[in-house]
Amino acid sequence: MLARRSARWTGYSVAVRTSPRSTPVPRRGARWAACLAAVVLAGVVGCGDGGAPAPAGPPEPVGFAVVGDSITAGLDAPVEGTRVRGTGSWVPAAEVAPLEFRGGWAVPGARTADMRAGVRPVEADVLVVLAGTNDVLGGVPWERTREDLLAAVGAAGVAQVVLLAVPPLDVAPQAREDLNAHLAALARERGWTSVDPWTDVATDRGTFTAGASADGVHPTQPVADLVGTRVRTALLDLAGD
pLDDT score, position 241? 67
Low-confidence ranges of the chain (pLDDT < 70): 1-57, 241
Distances (CA, A) of 114 to 45, 69, 119: 52, 10, 8
pLDDT score, position 172? 98
Distances (CA, A) of 197 to 46, 79, 168, 218: 40, 21, 11, 14
Residue 150 Cα to chain centre, angstroms? 15
pLDDT score, position 25? 36
Query: What's the CA gap between 229 and 178, in Å, rounded?
Result: 25
Apex CA 237: angle with CA 233 and CA 239, to 5°? Answer: 120
pLDDT score, position 74? 97
Taking alpha carbons only, the member of 92, 120, 117 closest to residue 104 is: 120
pLDDT score, position 57? 67
Residue 79 Cα to chain centre, angstroms? 15
pLDDT score, position 175? 98
CATH of 61-240, one of 3.40.50.1110, 3.20.20.70, 3.50.50.60, 3.40.50.410: 3.40.50.1110
Distances (CA, A) of 91 to 83, 179, 232: 10, 22, 9
157: left (phi over 0), alpha (psi -120 to 50) or beta: left
Residues of the chain with CATH 3.40.50.1110: 61-240
Q: For residue range 183-197, list pLDDT tens digits in order.
A: 999 999 999 999 999
pLDDT score, position 197? 98
Q: For residue range 86-97, list pLDDT tens digits in order.
A: 999 999 999 999
pLDDT score, position 54? 62
